[in-house]
Amino acid sequence: MAKHLLSKSTYIRSLQCQKSLYLHKKRPFLRDKMLASQLAKFRRGTAVGVLARDLFPGGIDMTPGSPSQYQKRRVETLEALQNPDVDVIYEGVFQHNEVLIMLDILVREDQKWRAIEVKSSLKLSETFMQDAFLQYYVLKGNQLELSDFELMYIDKDYLLGSQLELDKLFIGQSVMLEAEAHLEQTNSQIEAAKETLLLKNSPDIKIGVQCNYPYPCDFRGHCWKKVPTNSLLYIDAIPPNKRFELYHSGIENVSQLPKEQITTEILAQDKALQAQTYHLNPEKFAFLEANISTSKRSFIKVLYKQPAIPEHENTKPYTPQFLAITALVTDGKKQEFHSWDCSEYPDQWQAGFEFLADLWSKTKVLISFKDAQLRPLLEEFMPHLDSSKLFDFWELLKSADFYFPVINTEIDLEALCAFIIEKHRPLKHEAWLIKDLTASPDENRENVLSKLKSYVSSLNVLVNFFETKN
Ligand code: SF4
């Protein structure tokens, strides 16, 4: 049986950029190293899909053990469809027009089948719709009589009571009419992707907004290597579309722009870019910095897990839960580390909040970095704690027009410290710490807590750096 050329993921890749599809298939060695943060995102999903099966129990599972089993499972899926004793199929494998898909759940409804694809997200994105259109196209190509095609996702407002109610946790949305209306378009997109794969060389596609949208492309290192580090592509005061338009029209840096197009912000960013340094508005920073200027302050780092399926009563899907907390508490004379991790407590949820309450009593100001979770969590579950003591240093920098010429990577504490602090020792990305602590808490807790101490120490040094320099 003919092997497939495209899968759901390679098809979606082709919609973002045909060159990315080509490189992925023909030149995979050119791929960038995957960022830890991206790796973490890929690990979600499967568990939610398996849980949703409980809504349609008693099915047979067609999940292939390895890619070598795809064709075997495909034949078995077609056989199961004909078997009157089979009413539910999980991960049925189908192929049409050299595209292979696996469908989360198929349920027999009279003489037809109801197709369900499960998403672990709180809303449906354009990518999910395209992915559903492709699945529908392949199912139609297999002459499967469908009663419906549904995307099932998680209700963001679901509140866990004394027990999990799957029928309330998931929301089903029929997309069959849209998928039917897109059949022709889906077919053209498949043909375009297949043509790309027949090319001898990679298609001549210029870098553009597609390099970061909807996903950061993993070939940016390759495609962007000729972009000079002082290019206006790195000036974020210019909207992304405009930057690429200028770049492709031969304008490589801000000095080539007509004067009337150069705003004060663009000029300030360009000055920093050319000098390969940062930019900060000193007046705004001084005003904001006054809020955190006390000797009795703490630097805090929290590791969270965010289960798609709520685990504690009165919590919602993706409500963050504490895995570990470390704070460096200073009082002008001495510094002390205070650490907590979830491994020792039967009721981790409550114990994490108690640790924070104690920490709050010890300090006037708490400084975090790029932590969007802590404040809403405290406001919802510990309203008596004064959340105005908490400051996110990254937010403070941004409010002071901070610009940092980071090239093709995310700005995190590590990127900033490596750039600014002499003799900085690299920090392990929190995605790895979360993975270590979740996989083997007993074995890894000491190591994770020691890394968190390095994290809050670096944050302390970074904050001091900006306070003394500006
Ligand atoms: S980096 Fe941009 S141009 Fe290159 S393959 Fe990726 S999306 Fe396409």
pLDDT tens track for 65-99: 999 999 999 999 999 999 999 999 999 999 999 99
What is the reported pLDDT for 443?
Answer: 86
> Does any ligand 1 atom lie closer than 6 A to the CB of residue 244?
no
pLDDT-derived band at 1 (thresholds 50, 70, 90) equals: low
| Cα separations in angstroms, 444 against 28, 37, 154, 425, 432 | 33, 19, 32, 20, 11
What is the reported pLDDT for 45?
Answer: 58
- Partners of residue 253 on adjacent β-strands: none
Given a cut of 90, whether residue 190 has pLDDT beyond it is: yes
| Cα separations in angstroms, 232 against 75, 229, 250, 259 | 54, 9, 11, 15
How many C-beta neighbours within 10 Å does residue 32 have? Answer: 16
pLDDT tens track for 382-409: 999 999 999 999 999 999 999 988 766 6
> Does any ligand 1 atom lie closer than 6 A to the CB of residue 21?
no
Mean pLDDT across the chain, nearest whole number? 92
Same domain, 410 and 309: yes
What is the reported pLDDT for 8?
Answer: 95
Same domain, 454 and 329: yes
> Does any ligand 1 atom lie closer than 6 A to the CB of residue 359?
no
| 271 contacts 401 by C-beta, under 8 angstroms | no
Assign 165 to helix, strand or coil.
Answer: coil
> Does any ligand 1 atom lie closer than 6 A to the CB of residue 223?
yes
Number of domains in the chain: 2
| Cα separations in angstroms, 226 against 206, 315, 337 | 12, 48, 45
Of 161, 196, 231, the residue that ends a domain is 196
Q: In this structure, what CATH number is given to the domain that contains residue 99?
A: 3.90.320
What is the reported pLDDT for 147?
Answer: 97
pLDDT tens track for 10-46: 999 999 999 999 999 999 999 987 665 555 555 555 6
> Does any ligand 1 atom lie closer than 6 A to the CB of residue 219?
yes
Q: Point out the ligand 1 atom lying closest to the alpha carbon of residue 23.
A: 5
Residue of the nearest CA to atom 4 in ligand 1?
A: 223
Q: Is residue 18 situated within a structural domain? A: yes
> Does any ligand 1 atom lie closer than 6 A to the CB of residue 62?
no
> Does any ligand 1 atom lie closer than 6 A to the CB of residue 220?
yes
In terms of pLDDT, which residue wins out, 389 or 470?
Answer: 389
Of 174, 196, 218, the residue that ends a domain is 196
Please name the helix (run of DSSP H) or strand (run of DSSP E) that holds residue 304, with its range, or none.
strand 296-305
Of 196, 211, 240, the residue that ends a domain is 196
At 338, list the tokens. Answer: 């205070």
Q: Is residue 205 situated within a structural domain? A: no
Same domain, 33 and 131: yes
| 16 contacts 86 by C-beta, under 8 angstroms | no
> Does any ligand 1 atom lie closer than 6 A to the CB of residue 227?
no
pLDDT tens track for 352-379: 999 999 999 999 999 999 999 999 999 9
Q: Is residue 425 situated within a structural domain? A: yes
CB contact set of 377 (below 8 Å; sequence gap of 6+): 319, 320
| 302 contacts 324 by C-beta, under 8 angstroms | yes
- Taking only Cα atoms into account, the Rg of the chain, rounded to an integer number of angstroms, comes to 26
Residue of the nearest CA to atom 1 in ligand 1?
A: 220
What is the reported pLDDT for 440?
Answer: 83
Residue 220 Cα, ligand 1 centroid: separation in angstroms? 6
Residue 206 Cα, ligand 1 centroid: separation in angstroms? 8
> Does any ligand 1 atom lie closer than 6 A to the CB of residue 217?
yes
Same domain, 45 and 166: yes
Order of strands, sheet of 296-305, starting from the edge strand that comes earlier in the sequence: 335-341, 321-331, 296-305, 365-368, 390-392
At 429, list the tokens. Answer: 């990305």
Residue of the nearest CA to atom 2 in ligand 1?
A: 211
pLDDT tens track for 428-441: 888 889 888 888 88
At 240, list the tokens. Answer: 């992304």
| 328 contacts 298 by C-beta, under 8 angstroms | yes
Same domain, 168 and 297: no
Residue of the nearest CA to atom 5 in ligand 1?
A: 20
What is the reported pLDDT for 186?
Answer: 98
Q: In this structure, what CATH number is given to the domain that contains residue 428?
A: 3.30.420
Tell me how far apart the terminal alpha carbons of the chain are, to the nearest angstrom. 68
Least confident among 96-100, 276-280, 417-421: 417-421
Residue 244 Cα, ligand 1 centroid: separation in angstroms? 13
Residue 221 Cα, ligand 1 centroid: separation in angstroms? 9
> Does any ligand 1 atom lie closer than 6 A to the CB of residue 23?
yes
How many C-beta neighbours within 10 Å does residue 419 have? Answer: 15
Domain hosting 364: range is: 285-469
Give CA torsion, residues 434, 438, 444, 449, to 10 deg: 40
pLDDT-derived band at 317 (thresholds 50, 70, 90) equals: very high
CA distance 181 to 199: 30
